[in-house]
A and B are shown apart, each in its own frame.
Chain A
Amino acid sequence: MAENLTSIDFAGLFTADNIVFCLLSAVILVCGFMSVASTKILRAATYLFFTLFAVAGLYLTLNYEFIAAVQLSVYAGGILVLLIFAIMLVKNLGTDTETTSYVNKTIAGIAALAGAVFAFITMSKYRFISNEEANDASEMIDMEMIGQTLMGTDKYQYLLAFEAVSILLLACIVGSIVVATKSKED
């Protein structure tokens, strides 16, 4: 490890890609922490939104525009709007601060630590690919290829999974309508 450290080209680290990466990572880490640490639930949701938004930015630096757009529309546009809507509809949930019990805090701490250890082990096992390599790979992926991969039945194509998810979503929609409908006797 020691000889590797000395051979790192420190001037080469100050590329635009690296600076943008560090800024986005800082936003992800700080807002991720704040979303857990904040006692006001609506603020926590907003910090979560910033985290997800910065992750979309990270995808953009890798030229994966499709994943970035999916990240934005599914998480920022879909799930977070739903989350905030739900929080606003529940009375006083936005203003009350709740304290968590020590048991929960301990379990959460252990889970977070385990996640960090797992992430560290995974990261040390694999090397990071450079941005040039990533850009070379992503130039071949266009929308047509993504569409055919989602809709095909050959090897490495995902029609079955796609259909299974859509049936699941349909079941959710039907279920929510059934739950929301009041019966006539009420």
Chain B
Amino acid sequence: MLEVGGILSWIHEALSSSCPEWLTLLIEYVLIGVGFLALYALIALILILLERKVCAYYQCRLGPMRAGFWGLLQPFADMIKILMKEIIPLLKNDKFLFFTALFLVIIGSLCTFGALQFSKDLVGIDFNVGVFYVLAISSLGVLGILLAGWSSNNKYTMIGAMRAGAQLVSYELSSGLSLLTIVILGGTMQLSGLIEAQSETWFLFQTPFTWIAMVIYLIAGHAETNRGPFDLPEAESELTAGYHIEYSGITFGLFYVGEYVNMFTIAGIGTMVFLGGWQPFHINAEWAAGFNGVMDMIPTWLWFFAKAFGLVMLSLWVRWSFPRLRIDQLLHLEWKILMPISLLNMLLMALWVTVLVPLFA
């Protein structure tokens, strides 16, 4: 099989046969941390290339073509360039908060990224309050953005940070409510439990309300990553670059990387909660046993990444197709449209689980 579980348990056995227990654990924790950081950076590089290519094709261009075959080495060249750039110090700003803000954004993004379950065996954190943990830890980013905007001592960053604060705090509500709708259906908050409950049929095909929840989650998640029609905090034609104008070199690079990985994290959580995570696509019927067997042959990590990148492509499609909203339209969309729908949807899902399902069971 092409699963990674074999390799992981081989590493564990090799370490525990030659080291005491505490050293084994220490080495494994460090390895897991380094692995996550490497994956984080790699996914950011892939997404940056993907974004540039997809954007180019939407605008009938070719995008980067010179570095490597079909421009494949472009993000690595960009990475080396941005690592060597100067970090320009500002004259009158709060340096401590300026750099703390950056790390808050990155830590919030990385901790949310750690909750993703990439395959059957590749699981970082699996708390029994998984969904709640994801909602809680992702709010670190808001704090980082607010502090970044203030500590840059610039009116554009300040306006950007204010917009970001209003936007993120509002859209957290409907993304949280649509995740809770699925928690009602799955009966657990543990992400592995939710994925386990989808082994026969994905949640998407279990109830009609899941579709509504998924659409709302994708819109709200898209808004939470400050992209697409919702990129008011960094609207380049109004605020030049919003809350991260004053960051230069790799400090700007980290904001950029964090934004791209957040996009993947939103897609990954959507995958785990609505599309069965790493579960293969199954048709729950007698005659489809052969089809299900073929689907099981595909390794689970491939399933996860295929679905997650599918949702990322959807997000890119939206980003390059719609014009930017105004701030009042943005808040109108959240508070007067998405919020009531998701509250009603949650109520209907609760009725489905408590009344309709026992009726037909």
Q: Interface segment, A76-84, A100-108, A123-131, A148-156?
A: A76-84
Contact A72 B136 (CB under 8 A): yes
Taking CB atoms, residues of chain B closer than 8 Å to A77 are 136, 139-140, 142-143, 172
Contact B96 A88 (CB under 8 A): no
Contact B150 A42 (CB under 8 A): yes
A46 in contact with B139 given A65-B128, A66-B132, A143-B188 (CB within 8 Å): no
Taking CB atoms, residues of chain B closer than 8 Å to A40 are 94
Contact A69 B129 (CB under 8 A): yes
A142 contacts chain B at the CB level, 8 A cutoff: yes
A73 contacts chain B at the CB level, 8 A cutoff: yes
A88 in contact with B150 given A43-B94, A65-B129 (CB within 8 Å): yes
A81 in contact with B143 given A42-B150, A65-B133, A72-B136 (CB within 8 Å): yes
Looking across the interface, which residue of chain B has its beta carbon closest to that of A84?
B146
Contact A94 B150 (CB under 8 A): yes
Contact with A along B133-174 (1 / 0, CB 8 A): 101110110110011011100000010011001000100100
Taking CB atoms, residues of chain A closer than 8 Å to B158 are 88
Q: How far is the CA of A16 from the CA of B28 in the complex (A)?
A: 14
Looking across the interface, which residue of chain B has its beta carbon closest to that of A142?
B128
Looking across the interface, which residue of chain B has its beta carbon closest to that of A64?
B129
A85 contacts chain B at the CB level, 8 A cutoff: yes
CB distance from B27 to the nearest CB of A (A): 13
Count A/B pairs, Cβ under 8 Å. Answer: 74
CB distance from A7 to the nearest CB of B (A): 24
Contact B137 A72 (CB under 8 A): yes
Interface residues of A in 73-123 (CB under 8 A from B): 73, 76-78, 80-81, 84-85, 88, 94
Contact A73 B139 (CB under 8 A): yes
Question: What is the interface size of chain B, counting residues whose CB is below 8 A from a CB of the partner?
Answer: 31
Taking CB atoms, residues of chain B closer than 8 Å to A72 are 133, 136-137, 139-140
Contact A81 B162 (CB under 8 A): no
Taking CB atoms, residues of chain B closer than 8 Å to A73 are 132, 135-136, 139
Q: How far is the CA of A85 from the CA of B162 in the complex (A)?
A: 8
Contact with B along A47-70 (1 / 0, CB 8 A): 001000000000000000110011
Please tell me the size bucket of the interface on A: 20 to 34
Taking CB atoms, residues of chain A closer than 8 Å to B135 are 69, 73
B127 contacts chain A at the CB level, 8 A cutoff: yes
CB distance from A31 to the nearest CB of B (A): 12
CB distance from A51 to the nearest CB of B (A): 14
B97 contacts chain A at the CB level, 8 A cutoff: yes
Q: How far is the CA of A70 from the CA of B132 in the complex (A)?
A: 8
Contact A88 B162 (CB under 8 A): yes
Q: How far is the CA of A88 from the CA of B94 in the complex (A)?
A: 14
Contact B142 A69 (CB under 8 A): no
Q: How far is the CA of A155 from the CA of B142 in the complex (A)?
A: 40
Contact A46 B128 (CB under 8 A): no
Contact with A along B253-287 (1 / 0, CB 8 A): 00000000000000000000000000000000000
Query: B140: which of A76, A78, A94 is its contact (CB, 8 Å)?
Result: A76
Taking CB atoms, residues of chain A closer than 8 Å to B150 are 42, 84, 88, 94
Looking across the interface, which residue of chain B has its beta carbon closest to that of A65?
B127
Contact A66 B129 (CB under 8 A): yes
A143 in contact with B128 given A43-B94, A77-B142, A84-B147 (CB within 8 Å): yes
Looking across the interface, which residue of chain B has its beta carbon closest to that of A38?
B96
CB distance from A103 to the nearest CB of B (A): 30
Looking across the interface, which residue of chain A has its beta carbon closest to that of B101?
A46
B102 contacts chain A at the CB level, 8 A cutoff: no
Query: B94: which of A42, A49, A66, A142 is its contact (CB, 8 Å)?
Result: A42
Contact A143 B139 (CB under 8 A): no
CB distance from A175 to the nearest CB of B (A): 18
CB distance from B269 to the nearest CB of A (A): 15
Can you identify 16 A-B contacts, CB atoms within 8 angstroms?
A40-B94, A42-B94, A42-B151, A66-B129, A69-B129, A72-B136, A73-B132, A73-B139, A76-B139, A77-B139, A77-B172, A80-B143, A81-B142, A84-B143, A88-B161, A88-B162
Q: A16-B22, A46-B100, A84-B147 are in contact. List 18 more A-B contacts (CB 8 A).
A: A42-B147, A42-B151, A43-B94, A72-B136, A73-B135, A76-B139, A76-B140, A76-B143, A77-B136, A77-B143, A81-B139, A84-B146, A88-B146, A88-B150, A142-B128, A143-B129, A143-B188, A143-B189
State the B residues within 8 Å of A (CB): 22, 25, 94, 96-97, 100, 127-129, 132-133, 135-137, 139-140, 142-143, 146-147, 149-151, 158, 161-162, 165, 169, 172, 188-189
